[in-house]
Amino acid sequence: MSPETTHAATPNAPPRNEHTHGRRFGSWQEHHGWSAAASLRRLASRPLGSLLTIAVMGLALALPLAFYLLLGNVQKLGDALGQNETISVFLQPGQTAQQARMLAQQLGDRPEVAAVTVKTPQQGMDELAKMQGFTGALQTLDDNPLPYVLQLQLQPRAQASAAALEQLVTDARALHGVDLVQDAGSWRQRLDALLGVGNRAVLVLASLLALAALLVVGNTVRVDIASRSEEIGVLLLVGASGAFVRRPYLYAGIWYGLFSGILAAVLAVLVEFALAAPVAQLSHAYDGKLQIGGLPLWLLLAVPLAAAALGWLGARLVSAWQLRRAV
């Protein structure tokens, strides 16, 4: 072949490095597909052991979801009860209706107060008369000893902080003509403190159970690698890379995590359905004001993905350690 012919044919031929790179990428992609399918078949070949591993991981991951659901609904219960949170201001005996209205207007101008209701002594007497056991005692009274009562309807907690409400109570007690201020909001502060502890406990529990799931995957992969040590040794002798050898085990960890995450999400949904009937009765007792919600959809979808990543991490750490020992 003449130099001219060689020179003319060269521009039309693909570069050698691009051709080699394409073949390597195709082989890499093909081995990923084979590893995913082979690891899934291996899980199916031992159904009892695979199901036990997935069940243990699924239960471990479902527990934080159940606690998260419980805490979220307790928070909503507190919000629903807090919508009717009031502060009762009892005036001194002998205060007139005009003085009660003036104090009501003064307290109603506070930004923490949504509305003020003035309860007259006669209204208080009528409420006592409706209570069992008070009718006979009230008939013996010559006059009405009850004072005016101002009921302060508070703003939602998003707009009224705990410090502002505490200052409101202090200022109300200092007003002229006020005898007693009854604040029922301390229970809400205790509830918020308990919810803070609960949220931190859920985070700690989720971290510990995630670590447990990682260890379960790691131990399962370790046993699998140990049972195939001779096959792995042959692959390493013929020049297979570490990434090539551990790839099927990484996919096994992904499958374990994915299936356990799906199981955890299903268990969390079943818990929601189990609580649906008593929750509906509780909501009916509060005239429909209590809206109990379930786990958000994004969380249910994120759990299998996070569990798959967790399974991959456990398999990656253990397989790398096992292969270093085999070399």
The domain boundary, picked from 184, 203, 231, lies at 184
pLDDT digits (tens, 9 = 90+) for 33-58: 888 898 899 899 989 989 999 999 99
Structure tokens given for 268: 């969390």
Question: Does 4 fall in a domain?
Answer: no
Which of the four pLDDT bands, split at 50, 70 and 90, describes residue 258?
A: very high
Residues 6+ apart with CB under 8 A from 262: 58, 304
Q: Which of 184, 204, 232 is the last residue of a domain?
A: 184
- Inform me whether the pLDDT recorded for 60 exceeds 60: yes
Domain co-membership, 63 together with 131 = no
Are 117 and 135 contained in the same domain?
yes
Predicted pLDDT of residue 253: 92
What distance in Å separates the CA atoms of residue 222 and residue 183, rounded to the nearest whole number?
Answer: 61
pLDDT digits (tens, 9 = 90+) for 142-161: 677 788 899 888 776 544 56
pLDDT at 10: 42
Shared domain for 69 and 218, answered yes or no, is: yes
Tell whether 202 and 307 lie within a shared domain. yes
DSSP 46: S
Tell me, yes or no, whether 93 lies in a domain.
Answer: yes
Boundary-marking domain end, from 136, 165, 184: 184
Is the Cβ–Cβ distance between 263 and 54 less than 8 Å? yes
Tell me: do 173 and 115 sit in the same domain.
Answer: yes
In a domain, 228, yes or no: yes
CA 162: distance to chain centroid? Answer: 24
Residue 92, both tokens: 């001194």
Query: What Rg value do the Cα atoms of the chain yield, rounded?
Result: 35
Instruction: Name, in order, each residue with C-beta under 8 angstroms of 206's C-beta and a sequence gap of 6 or more.
Output: 64
C-beta atoms surrounding 31 within 10 Å: 15
What tens digit of pLDDT does each residue of 5-26 get? 434 444 444 455 555 666 777 7
Q: Do residues 233 and 264 share a domain? A: yes
pLDDT in tens, 269-317: 998 888 877 777 777 776 666 666 778 889 899 999 999 999 999 999 8
Residue 288's DSSP bridge partners are: none
Which has the minimum average pLDDT: 43-57, 191-205, 207-221, 296-310? 191-205
Is 260 found in the same domain as 210? Answer: yes
User: Three-state DSSP class for 119?
Assistant: strand
Query: According to the model, what pLDDT value does residue 33 have?
Result: 85
Q: Which two tokens stand for residue 221?
A: 């992969």
Residues 197 and 319 in one domain: yes
pLDDT beyond 70 at 138: no
The arithmetic mean of pLDDT across residues 208-218, rounded, is 89
pLDDT on residue 13:
46
SS3 label, residue 109? coil
On whether residue 317 sits in a domain, the answer given is yes
| Residue 36 placed within a domain | yes
The number of C-alpha atoms within 13 Å of 55 and in the hemisphere containing its C-beta is 6
Residue 38 burial (10 A CB sphere; 0-12, 13-18, 19+): middle
Task: Kindly tell me the number of DSSP H helices and DSSP E strands found in the chain.
Answer: 12, 4
Name the residue with higher pLDDT: 176 or 239. 176
Q: How far apart are the first and last CA of the chain?
A: 50
Q: Tell me, what's the pLDDT at 261?
A: 94
Same domain as 309, residue 205: yes
Provide the domain limits for residue 178.
86-184
CA-CA distance, 145 to 118, in Å (whole number)? Answer: 17
Q: Among the listed ranges 42-51, 163-172, 253-262, 275-284, which one has the minimum average pLDDT value? A: 275-284
| DSSP conformation class of 115 | E
Tokens representing 185?
């909001």
Residue 4 has pLDDT above 60, yes or no: no
What's the pTM value of the predicted model, to 2 decimals?
0.65
Query: Which residue, 114, 109, 206, 107, is CA-closest to 150?
Result: 107
The answer as to whether 21 is a domain residue is no
**Domain membership flag for residue 258:** yes
We report the CATH number of the domain holding residue 98 as: 3.30.70.3040
Strand bridging mode 178-183 / 86-91: antiparallel
Domain match, 161 and 253 both: no
- The number of domains in the chain is 2
Question: Cα–chain-centroid distance for residue 174?
Answer: 43
pLDDT of residue 288: 61
Asked whether residue 251 falls in the same domain as residue 211, the answer is yes
User: What is the three-class DSSP state of 180?
Assistant: strand
What is the overall mean pLDDT for the chain?
Answer: 79
Q: Which residue has the higher pLDDT, 4 or 200?
A: 200
Q: In what order do the strands lie in the sheet with 113-119?
A: 113-119, 149-154, 86-91, 178-183
Q: Which amino acid is at 31?
A: H
**5 domain-assigned:** no
Within this chain, do residues 126 and 50 fall inside the same structural domain, yes or no? no
